[in-house]
Amino acid sequence: MSKRAITYVNRLIEEGYVYTMEHAGFSASLMKAPKLSNRDGRPHSLPPGQQMPVIPIGCLPGCPEGWSRDPGTYVCPIDTDWGIWFDFTMNDALNTAVIPSVKGMNPITGRPLTGPYLESYIEKCPVHDEPFSHDRLCEKCGFRWPAQNYLTHESTLWLDGFRQPDGTVRQFFFTEDDKKDIASLVIGKESTMPAFGFVFYEPKEKRREIIRSSRNDMFNCVLNYKGIGGSWTQDTYEMESSDEVHTSYCVDTNYTPSAGGDVTLSSVSCGSTSSSSCSSDRDMRIGSNARSFRSKTASVGAGAEIRQTIKSDGLGLDGWKNEASSIIRLYFCFEGQFRQIVADGGVSGIQTKSSGFLDGLPVG
């Protein structure tokens, strides 16, 4: 990688990244978690998470031509075997509904993201158009459908994986193995895209805000990650307060996106009870000895089981506006493609004038 490209990446990292994606009054974060393994056939409790830095797509002119440039679009360089989850808890809980998508597929329903529109499944199977039997069971599908294709505060505004009807999800994780890419297997590779999507809706009548839930409410836990190929260590991670309230806040040190690479994060301290308000001093600079990195398309697999129930929306479909209020997109790619994006188009639009139209004028 040329010195010029390295300089661009370092400028981007120092000045261009954010931790919370925002658009039209709504927010979302990508949370990195330990990749869980199956253990004795028992589901896990909710894993802790660390907010990952993302870059507004406007800073990266070299992104592929087919990627959206709409406001609220971001890019995140990633690596294999990250466990991840989506955090929407920084929004007004009572007045937020969100449709998530993973590479163009809704992870709650397994259906392609069309529209997108809020949908409820009360009487008929959306695939076979036949009446459900007991508890939204479609006998042709062989499983019970969720009550709707979106999340509300009844489920808590986060999502850790692909929904299963038994009150668990299969953890999201990144992999190079395209044979494990759930969206490609379900909706067809040609219908996928390397992105997550979050579509937000507001109710027709605003409701009084409630106290937001946190995965960090009940116990404390200290975690240290030793880099890709390393291991998480934990003090109280196995302590459980309930099936769907996590028990920790985390401290992450020496995060390394690529084994043997030069991008590092250090001294990340998340001492707040809200995962969306972590403070940190991060060092992500890329060194001059940067080597060749992966360029394959990232897949999102279904990992270990986690206890997480997608609960019914108490407001009902008629209580939400017909049109979406916000769409946030997050493209993801392995570091090789990310570096190529920077090499192709550089970095732009990072610096802003803090004084606005007063910049350069006599003031004070």
297-335 pLDDT per residue, tens = 899 999 999 999 999 999 999 999 999 999 999 999 998
Encoding tokens for residue 53? Answer: 């830095």
Strand partners, 26: 23
Q: How much is the pLDDT for 86? A: 98
Q: How open is the CA angle 46-330-96, to the nearest 5 degrees?
A: 60
Digit-coded pLDDT (tens) for 36-46: 998 778 899 99
Token pair belonging to 340: 């190529």
User: 3-class SS at 178?
Assistant: helix
Whose CA is closest to 307, among 187, 198, 171, 189? 171
Of the candidates 223, 298, 227, 224, which has an alpha carbon nearest to the alpha carbon of residue 263?
227
224 or 210, greater pLDDT: 210
Confidence of residue 252 (pLDDT cuts 50, 70, 90): very low
Q: Between residues 349 and 206, which one has the greater pLDDT?
A: 206
Rounded CA-CA distance 36/231 in Å is 11
Segments in 20-117 forming alpha helices (H): none
Predicted pLDDT at 226: 32
Residue with tokens 């986060």: 158
Give the residue with greater pLDDT, 299 vs 216.
Answer: 299
User: How high is the pLDDT of residue 2?
Assistant: 53
213 vs 106, which has greater pLDDT?
A: 106
Q: Is residue 149 scored above 60 in pLDDT? A: yes
Per-residue pLDDT reduced to its tens digit, 48-90: 999 999 999 998 999 999 999 999 999 999 999 899 999 999 9
232 forms beta bridges with 225
Q: Which helix (H) or strand (E) holds 342?
A: helix 335-345
HSE-CB of 12 using CA atoms within 13 angstroms:
31
Determine what percent of the chain is predicted with pLDDT higher than 70. Answer: 71
CB 299 within 8 A of CB 193: no
C-alpha–C-alpha distance, residues 32 and 69, integer Å: 25
pLDDT category at 23 given cuts 50, 70, 90 is very high
E-only strand ranges, the chain: 21-23, 26-33, 50-51, 55-56, 73-78, 83-87, 97-102, 137-138, 143-144, 158-159, 161-164, 168-175, 195-201, 223-225, 232-234, 251-252, 268-269, 279-280, 299-307, 326-334
